[in-house]
Amino acid sequence: MGWWSERCTATLLVLLFLVALTPSVVADEGSDKGAGDPVTEHQLQAGETQIINVSLDGNRSAILAWLCEACEVNLEDAPDGVQVNVHGNHMMSLQTEESAHVQFSVRSDVSETITLMRRSNIHDHQVSNRPSPDAPANLTVVGVCAVVSECLSPSNGHLGTVMNTSDPSYVQTGVAVSSNDHHLVIEVMKGDTLEWQWLASTHTVSVEFYHQTTGAETVLNGVHNSAEAHAEFGDVSLQPAYWVAPNDGRFIARLSTEAVRAVWAANLVLHPSQEVSPLVGIDTAQGAQIVGHNTIAATFDWSELQQLTLTAHVEDVHVSVDQLLNGAWVAGVPTLLGAGQNQIVYPYPDVERGRLNITNTPVYAVDASVRSFEDLGGLEAPSYRPANLDEDNASWPVLNLTQSTNGEFTLAVHDTTDTYRLVVDGWADSIHFVQVVLTGDVAGLELQLWDMDQLTGEVISTDITRPVGDQLKIGLQIGRGTHYLQLRYQNASEATTHLWGEHVSSRTYTLQASYSLIDEGEEPWFPPSEDAVYWGNVARWFMGVLFLLPVVYLGVHVKRSKNFAASVAEKKQRLAWYAARLDSGESSVKEARSDLAKSLRAVAQLAWQEGLDAWGPKRLEHRTEDVALAVWSVDERLATEDGGWPVVVGVHVLNGTWDLAALRFDAPDGEAFEVVHLEPRFLFQGEEVFLDTMGPGHRTYLMAELKGSAQRVDVELNGRMDGAPFAARVPETLERA
């Protein structure tokens, strides 16, 4: 019994080893229910086999196609009633009357990727009779490309519509037989384009189109044939066909074949008409791409200094370019622009706008861009100079005298002469030297420079030079103002043997100008205008009056001061007079203080003795050879603070110049005095008052309000006289009343 168990175990291990060496079989569990099944890829290792499942409903057909290098596709299991046909080396078709499940095996002796296409459940129903224009018919729903730029792109290398494979409305399938034609009915509007892409066919199938309106039918040109055993493994057919609806109505697609039975699949896309695509406002200098079908008119901004370049991609295009002049469109010449070719169009003078027309082109992709051929500053240099001074010369570009200037002869528009302005600034009768050198190819060219009279516009002098060796330069002495330089072909007819607007290469050049001042001339003087003279006089009188006002005010003030001083001199003993008025109530303290402050300034204008008499006899005096001092005690009711003691002090300089002078109020006993108020306003601190610089004959009166408990005060004057220290002190002490 043990021996038998060991034998069975060994046998099982050998079988497992052999199974491991046998290539694996992978079943494809995907079932094919729709006619728009995607193209799939399968990775096969050498010797590996995969199973492909295809499921069919009753009365349906299917197409199986593959693309590989060394693979084999074989039928593994076909139920009864399923008919399998082989077409070429890479396609099979299936047909069944009952629902069925068919298996295919895929095997390769080398490792490779197999691309597989399955189109299943293709209906065998035939619409054999073409409906009449008035007859109702079932419409075929096809995919619509509403935005053409989202459906095709020239970068793909073709202009066929790239389908949305998740939308089954794009894919149409059917069975064509030799005994009957098959018809599809599609509703269209005028200008709509129908695109037909063959995806697969077991035999050659032809499709042609009719266009029907109410009561009329038209046969459209063009028959699109599929190939025998044809299959497209990409997203798009590389050879689509197009039909354009001449009017609103419907298309009738007629499919026919010479084979007994042909199964087919195709992409159908309807492109709505788009006859206008405005490009106004778009910067075409950066390039703009126009894609679409059949016919379009694209209006764009265009300047007379811009050349338009058109480039066709992938397909030939019928184009023309119209130009708007004076509000009317001038039709362009229709041209067949080959794929990959360029067309350069030049504008007429004073063009306002351009319009690109594409006509009778099933599908197109055109790049449009503009390039400026201006000479300088947005201007094209004219071929002549202004006739006189009255002509506006703003359209002549100004040549920079310190930098190089680039320009070109646009030979396509017979531009063989460029004229520039030279603007020289300076004083009257100044003389300048200007030299211009042309760099680059100088063959066949010449330069001319004009020195212009700025008053009459006549030519004072001119010079013309031609190349010497490989150099072309010109120099001329000119005056200030505007002058002209012209660069031109020596023989313009030899450079313009072509028609106007026919593209030929432009000739570029560089002008390098240099400038030097020979004589600066006379500095200009311009007589003033009558308005300037009038308003100048007004301004002078106004400013003179303003300057005289302070003088008048000063004179009035001095006169009033003198009158007031005279009145003070007439009234002797002024301080006693204030006390009497306060006693009688005729004057208030405020009025008395104000009058006293004015009197201090007024009395200073009187002679020293007259001033002493004006204040009153109750005073202390001290006099030396160089200075005189006088001190008066004032009624304390005129003090500004309670307890204050007003004191009037007079200083008269007899000889010398005093600086850094200061009056000191010294209390012989008790606490020191403090000056709390002073008239007129001088600097003061503590018990000292600082006076200004005083010269011989200077007289000053001031009232100092002292604050302190002392009942007497000594007054002294300290400072420097003529640079030497000096002091004077009133020998007597002033008693407080």
Structure confidence by residue, pLDDT tens digits, 146-164: 888 888 878 777 888 887 6
Position 560 pLDDT exceeds 60: yes
pLDDT at residue 592 in the model: 87
Position 575 pLDDT exceeds 80: yes
For 318, counting Cβ atoms within 10 Å of its Cβ (0-12 exposed, 13-18 middle, 19+ buried), the class is middle
In the three-class reduction of DSSP (H, G, I as helix; E, B as strand; rest coil), residue 180 is classed as coil
Least confident of 125-129, 172-176, 299-303, 696-700: 125-129
In the three-class reduction of DSSP (H, G, I as helix; E, B as strand; rest coil), residue 420 is classed as strand
Asked whether the beta carbons of 711 and 647 are under 8 A apart, the reply is: no
How far lies 557's CA from each of 11, 551, 569, 610, in Å?
Answer: 146, 10, 18, 21
C-alpha gyration radius of the chain: 58
Q: How confident is the model at residue 11 (pLDDT cuts 50, 70, 90)?
A: very low
Q: Tokens 């002049």, residue?
A: 325
Position 27 pLDDT exceeds 80: no
How far lies 79's CA from each of 32, 84, 85, in Å?
Answer: 17, 11, 14
Position 704 pLDDT exceeds 90: yes
At 334, list the tokens: 């229709």
Q: Does the N-terminal peptide bond of residue 680 adopt cis geometry, omega within 30 degrees of 0?
A: yes
Interatomic CA distance for residues 598 and 581, integer angstroms: 17
Cβ neighbours for 67, distance < 8 A, ≥ 6 positions apart: 90, 114, 115, 116, 231, 233
Q: Treating both helix axes as pointing N-terminal to C-terminal, what angle do 574-584 and 589-603 enclose, rounded to 10 degrees?
A: 170
pLDDT at residue 681 in the model: 86
Q: How confident is the model at residue 35 (pLDDT cuts 50, 70, 90)?
A: very low
In the three-class reduction of DSSP (H, G, I as helix; E, B as strand; rest coil), residue 155 is classed as helix
pLDDT in tens, 521-550: 777 666 788 888 889 888 989 998 888 888
**Mean pLDDT score of the chain:** 85
Q: How confident is the model at residue 22 (pLDDT cuts 50, 70, 90)?
A: very low
Interatomic CA distance for residues 553 and 306, integer angstroms: 76
pLDDT at residue 236 in the model: 57
Q: How confident is the model at residue 235 (pLDDT cuts 50, 70, 90)?
A: low
Name beta bridge partners: 507: 409
User: How many other C-beta atoms can be found within 10 angstroms of the C-beta atom of residue 579?
Assistant: 17
Task: Find the mean pLDDT for residues 324-345.
Answer: 91
At 156, list the tokens: 């793909």
Position 285 pLDDT exceeds 80: no
pLDDT at residue 286 in the model: 80
pLDDT at residue 665 in the model: 93
Asked whether the beta carbons of 160 and 193 are under 8 A apart, the reply is: no
Q: Tokens 């009719």, residue?
A: 210
Q: How confident is the model at residue 486 (pLDDT cuts 50, 70, 90)?
A: very high
Helices (H), 423-519: 492-495
Residue 582 has phi, psi (to 5 degrees) of -70, -35
Position 570 pLDDT exceeds 80: no
pLDDT in tens, 711-737: 999 999 999 999 899 999 999 999 987
pLDDT at residue 189 in the model: 93
Per this entry, what is the length of the chain?
A: 737
Q: Tokens 């034998």, residue?
A: 7
Interatomic CA distance for residues 268 and 173, integer angstroms: 10
pLDDT at residue 36 in the model: 43
Q: How confident is the model at residue 119 (pLDDT cuts 50, 70, 90)?
A: confident
Helices (H), 585-707: 589-603, 608-615
CA 211 to centroid of chain Cα atoms: 51
pLDDT at residue 3 in the model: 41
How far lies 8's CA from each of 15, 19, 21, 38, 319, in Å?
Answer: 11, 17, 20, 49, 85
User: Could you tell me what percentage of the chain is helix, strand and coil, using 3-state DSSP and rounding each to the nearest 5?
Assistant: 15, 45, 40
Name beta bridge partners: 84: 94
pLDDT at residue 435 in the model: 92
Position 396 pLDDT exceeds 80: yes
pLDDT in tens, 667-676: 988 889 999 9
Interatomic CA distance for residues 565 and 605, integer angstroms: 7
Q: Tokens 């295809």, residue?
A: 54
How far lies 391's CA from each of 64, 139, 386, 397, 417, in Å?
Answer: 82, 71, 6, 15, 19
Asked whether the beta carbons of 522 and 563 are under 8 A apart, the reply is: no
Residue 361 has phi, psi (to 5 degrees) of -125, 115
At 352, list the tokens: 């306002």
Position 243 pLDDT exceeds 90: yes
- pTM for the complete prediction? 0.61
pLDDT at residue 470 in the model: 86
pLDDT at residue 187 in the model: 93
